[in-house]
């Protein structure tokens, strides 16, 4: 019987051509993190001067990024696709789901990459993706 509490391994990450919804599942993916943040602007007002104001703020900018790690498998064509996009500065489609029928990010993103070569352990690539509208798609934060 399936559990209502989802485990980390149930999360999914898909890639594809920029401009369309990603549909290729990345199976060579270890840790996956979807980061959501925002910036705010102060909206505090002075009032009539009879009470000390309470500081308030409203969201002025939403931010998203997705980070994941892949093992350096030289036969993995999906890893080669991700690395080629990162090196060229090209956007690719990214789709995440928190489980098979779940929700997550859907949009085009540009990629940054770090290549780890530890003395005792496997080589890995840490990929950081941030939204792009270069292919004409507006990022959807949780669909």
Read off the CATH number of the domain in which 88 is found.
Answer: 4.10.410
Q: Would residue 90 count as lying in a domain?
A: yes
Kindly report the number of other CB atoms within 10 A of residue 17's CB atom. Answer: 15
**Range(s) of the domain holding residue 81:** 10-132
- Per the structure block, which two tokens stand in for 121? 């352990």
Give me the pLDDT at residue 116, please.
Answer: 98
Give me the pLDDT at residue 1, please.
Answer: 63
Q: Would residue 78 count as lying in a domain?
A: yes
pLDDT, averaged across the chain = 96
Give me the pLDDT at residue 3, please.
Answer: 82
Q: Would residue 102 count as lying in a domain?
A: yes
Give me the pLDDT at residue 125, please.
Answer: 98
Q: Would residue 48 count as lying in a domain?
A: yes
Q: Would residue 47 count as lying in a domain?
A: yes
Q: Would residue 5 count as lying in a domain?
A: no
Q: Would residue 87 count as lying in a domain?
A: yes
Is 82 within 8 Å of 70 (Cβ atoms)?
yes
Strand ranges (DSSP E) for 1-143?
Answer: 12-17, 24-25, 32-42, 57-71, 92-97, 106-116, 124-132
Domain count, the chain: 1
Stretches where the chain sits below pLDDT 50 are none
- Distance (Å, rounded) from C-alpha 90 to C-alpha 111? 8
Is 131 within 8 Å of 61 (Cβ atoms)?
no
Q: Would residue 139 count as lying in a domain?
A: no
For the chain, the distance separating the N- and C-terminal CA atoms, rounded to the nearest angstrom, is: 26
């Amino acid at each position: 019987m399936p559990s209502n509490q989802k485990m980390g391994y149930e999360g999914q990450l898909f890639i594809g051509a920029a401009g369309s919804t990603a549909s290729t599942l990345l199976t060579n993916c270890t840790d996956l993190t979807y980061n959501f943040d925002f910036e705010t602007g102060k909206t505090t007002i002075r009032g009539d001067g009879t009470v000390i104001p309470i500081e308030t703020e409203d969201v002025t900018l939403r931010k998203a990024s997705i980070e994941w790690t892949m093992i350096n498998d030289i036969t993995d064509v999906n890893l080669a696709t991700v690395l080629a996009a990162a090196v060229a500065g090209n956007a690719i489609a990214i789709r995440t789901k928190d489980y098979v029928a779940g929700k997550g990010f859907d949009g085009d993103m540009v990629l940054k990459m770090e290549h780890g070569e530890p003395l005792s352990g496997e080589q890995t690539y840490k990929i950081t993706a941030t939204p792009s509208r270069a292919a004409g798609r507006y990022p959807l934060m949780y669909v």
